Chain A
Amino acid sequence: GQGAEQTGNEEAGEDIVVTDGLGREITLSQPAERILTSYGIATHMVFALGAQDKIVGYDSPSRNNAFFNKLMPELSNIPTPGSPAEFNLEEAMALDPDLILVPGRNMELVENLEEKGLTVFGVVAEDLEQLKDSMLNLGKALGREETAQEFVNYYENTLQKVKERTENIAEEDRPVVYLVGPMGLLSTCSSEMYQHHLIRLAGGENAGGELTGGWVEVSPEHLIEWNPDLIFVVQYTADTSPESIMEDERLQGIKAVMNKQVFWFPSTLNPWDYPSPQAVLGLYWAASKIQPDLFNDLDMQAEADQFFQKFYGKTYTELGGTLD
């Protein structure tokens, strides 16, 4: 890694200037060829941009990710110098990356890396807008502008379509959705979470909408009182499954259980319920479950296959993904 300043003087005209999630301008003399990500979402973005062959190091939690490994079997031989929590500076430097993708919220790490003369891109993608921005900028930095643009277009189309149909649903017509979060049956998303907005966007009402914080613990009493019409269970939850919910004696009086409206939130490959490049499919899926009448034209399986084919080169089905 040569410091950015050194190359800056040579041929200023060809410099690539991108803005990262923190609003910082980053200048590259040429598209980054050796990238290091320390953040799962960023790794996802790199895959969605088809730039995974540029990865020289990635975040350790992604190491066991079956989806990544299927797309790129040699990934397991690439070092993992860090996670959002722990970052091995030395190993990162030893890998000599052109660009390091880190979670934008870890300001200290960003500063620290820059001090060492490394080029850092802070990824902030807590909602779909930020996701689009990040994809565009990252696409530019990685020399994948076209893919990024395609991606953004797809996103905007989808969003547009969903919004049109759900925007004007009256509050009382919105089914109450309870989303089972990572800590098991009794954890759900607060109004500050992406998942809350996703449910709203898909035409539902988040059961935990009046809560604040991140993932919040509630008691079974809440659940019974809220009496949700649908229950979504995220893939990465603990100790809970739609089957166990259907069997839970405490929940037998709940509409969702009585009407058998309890589902895994797809997908079996990667969760679609948080802001990652595949999140848009999650929106589609949720909308089709929450407002089946409005989205009866949607073939979720086909949509997913198409999306995966376009951005990952293989269909969702080919990769082994299912929708329940």
Chain B
Amino acid sequence: MGGSDFYFYSLFVDIKFTFIKYETISITVHISKEMMKKTISNLPLQVKGVNFSYGKKNVLRNITFSVPHASICGLLGPNGSGKTTLLGCISGIKKLESGSIFLHGKAVQMMTRKEIAREVSVVPQQTGFIFPFKVLDMVLMGKAPVKEIWETPSLADREEALGVLERLGIRELSGRTFQQISGGEKQMVLIARSLLQNTDIMLLDEPTSHLDMKNQILILDLIKKVSYENRITVLMTLHDPNLALHYCDQIILLKNGQIMSQGNTSEVMQSQKLSNVYGIEVELGITSKGTRVVVPSCWR
């Protein structure tokens, strides 16, 4: 396995480097080294024993999971269960309290921002802006990680960005300013940026919120297609269990910062487990035309 060798080598180099520069943290590195022996693999995303707190408030507790290559993993859980925080940890924005996260076998903590951004693209839950950038400029920013620090987007990049907008059916928005489009349109633009970033791993925080039914399907179909064709691994939070049911290969159920259940979609999406996590009665049904749906029991 050439790939694995390469990673091993690069890790080795990293560790030597670490020994020289940061002697005090050599113990931590030792442990990781032990673990790496086993974990060095092609698994795109591995999360091991992650804990995280805001101040004294413990938000993630001993989170351990991994996402297989080119699969779509849904992260479900009630509000405030720690989904956004977990995505923040994976993309290296939040500093872990303990545990470690590996992207293709490389520890996030040891990667530069740019290395991370070449591996992982993020669609955030919320954004706020000062300057009224044009939509096209916003999307083009997805090219930043693959550019040298002094480069600017090329004409080819512009074409590519317009192509992505085209695929999402919002090419006509390209010249508008980001402040002057509707909520759903903003969401589409952020997804377009993430697609342009063209990473092996995509993290999406409620990508379908603010989207209409058609766009929800368009986006999720596209993600599924991209994931399959380009071998991209997707981890996304969702609130609609129906979407999870129809688009995810894997599901992780989070509650109070702990994983309640994880596995293949069919295993996890069971009424008992969902009811447990959300605290309401949920049932899986099937319509007369054969579509599987998840509905709260109270709607009966």
Chains A and B touch each other in the complex, with CB atoms below 8 Å apart: no
